[in-house]
Each structure stands twice: as structure tokens, then as C-alpha cells.
Amino acid sequence: MTKANVDLLQGTLDMLVLKTLQLEAQHGWGISQRIQQMSKDVLQVNQGSLYPALHRLQRQGLIGAEWGTSENNRRAKYYSLTAKGRTQLTAERANWERLSAAVTDILQTV
């Protein structure tokens, strides 16, 4: 398995975390696995960034946290999107699409 060495900018990671929580609540490990899966193993989340990001988003009120039981019957901390987080995700997503389109345009210019 080749590990992609892509460094995620802080803001980008926050957006991806919000995205993974869009459909259902998830614990920290689950989030890192989902990002890896959805990016087809291109993006490998650094745990040293993930957990601080989760606490930051929580402080900003974008996600909430609750202790629950995991699929293997363990106590795990589940994060879920708040209403504020949902709005934020929409905004960031629009922003990202504008940005990446712009970057693509520049790169395609001969």
C-alpha cells in the first residue's frame, strides 16, 4: 500500500471532517478511516492534526460530542454536526469549489 504524502491545510481538514459527519455521527478513528476511504487512500489523516481539529471545531460550536457505544461494543466519543456546522460546511464547500476551479484555470492556462 502506498501512502500518499499529502499535507492537508488546517482549513481543508476542518472542512473534510465536517463533510464526513454530514450523514451520521462518527468517532475520531472512524473519521480518519472515512477520509482515507473517500479519498481512495490519497489522503492520510495525521492524528496529531485530527484530534486538535476535533476539539477546535467543538469549541467553535460547529460539532457536538457525545459518548456512545461503538460497533464493537466499546465506549467511544461520537462527534456530530451542529446546525451551525452544517451552514459552515455549505459555505466552505462553495468556497472550495470556487477556489479549486480558479486554481485549475490557472494551471490550464498555457
Partner 1 sequence: MSTGSWKNWLTRLRGEGRPGADRELEDEVAFHLEMETRKYVEQGYEQDEAERRARMDFGAIQKHKESCRDERQGNHFDMLMQDVRYALRTLGKNWGFATAAILTLALGIGANTAIFSVIYGVLVRPLPYENGSRLVLLKPEIAGTGAVQTSIPELYDLREQTSTLDELVEYHSMFFVLLGRDEPERVQTGVVSDNFFDTLGVAPLHGRTFVEGEDALDSDAVLVLTYDYWQRAFGGDPDVVGQVFEMNTRPHTVVGILPQIPQFPVTVDVYMPTSACPFRANAERNMAGDRSAFRNLFVFGRLAEDGSAATANAEISNLAQRFADEYPDDYTDEVGYRAGVVDLKEELTRNARPVLLMLVATAGLVLLIACANVANLSLARVMSRESEVAVRAALGASRARLIRQFLTESTVLALLGGALGLVFAYAGLDMLVNFAAGYTPRAPQVNIDGWVLLFTLLVSVGTGLVFGTFPALPGTRDLGSAIKEGGRTTAAGGLRLRRALIVLQVALSFVLLVGAGLTLRSLSALQAIDPGFETEQVLTARISIDFTAYNDGVDRHAFLGELARVVGGLPIARNAALTDRPPYRANNPRFGQFIIDGRAVEETATPPRFQRTVVTSQYFDALDIPVLDGRAFTDNDSTGEAAEVAIINESLAQEYWSSENAIGSRISFDQGETWISIVGVVGNTRVDGPETPVTPEFYRPFNQAGMPTWLVVRTVGDPDSAARAIKDAAYSLAANPISDIQSLATLRDDAVASPRLTASLLGVFALLALAVTLTGIAGVMAFAVSQRTREMGLRLALGAQPRGLLNMVVRQGMGQVVAGLALGVAGAFAFGQILTDLLFEVNASDPATFVAVIIVLAAAGLVAVVIPARRAVTIDPATALRSD
Task: Give CA–CA dist 69/60, Å, rounded.
Answer: 25
Contacts of 83 (CB under 8 A, 6+ apart): none
Task: Give CA–CA dist 97/7, Å, rounded.
Answer: 19
Residues in the chain: 110
**Number of C-beta neighbours around residue 94 at 10 A:** 10
DSSP, collapsed to helix, strand or coil, labels residue 75 as strand
Whichever of 23 and 67 has its CB closer to partner 1, that residue is: 67
Pick the binder of partner 1 from 56, 86, 93, 96 (CB under 8 A): 56
Q: Does 73 bind partner 1 (CB under 8 A)?
A: no
Whichever of 3 and 40 has its CB closer to partner 1, that residue is: 3
Q: Does 69 bind partner 1 (CB under 8 A)?
A: no
Pick the binder of partner 1 from 4, 6, 41, 77 (CB under 8 A): 77
Contacts of 110 (CB under 8 A, 6+ apart): none
Residue 37 CB, nearest distance to partner 1 (Å)? Answer: 12
Kindly write out the interface string for residues 20-49 of this chain, putting x where it contacts partner 1 by CB under 8 A and - elsewhere: -------xxxx-x-------------xxx-
Q: Could you list the residues that contact partner 1 (CB under 8 A)?
A: 27-30, 32, 46-48, 51-56, 58-59, 70, 72, 74-77
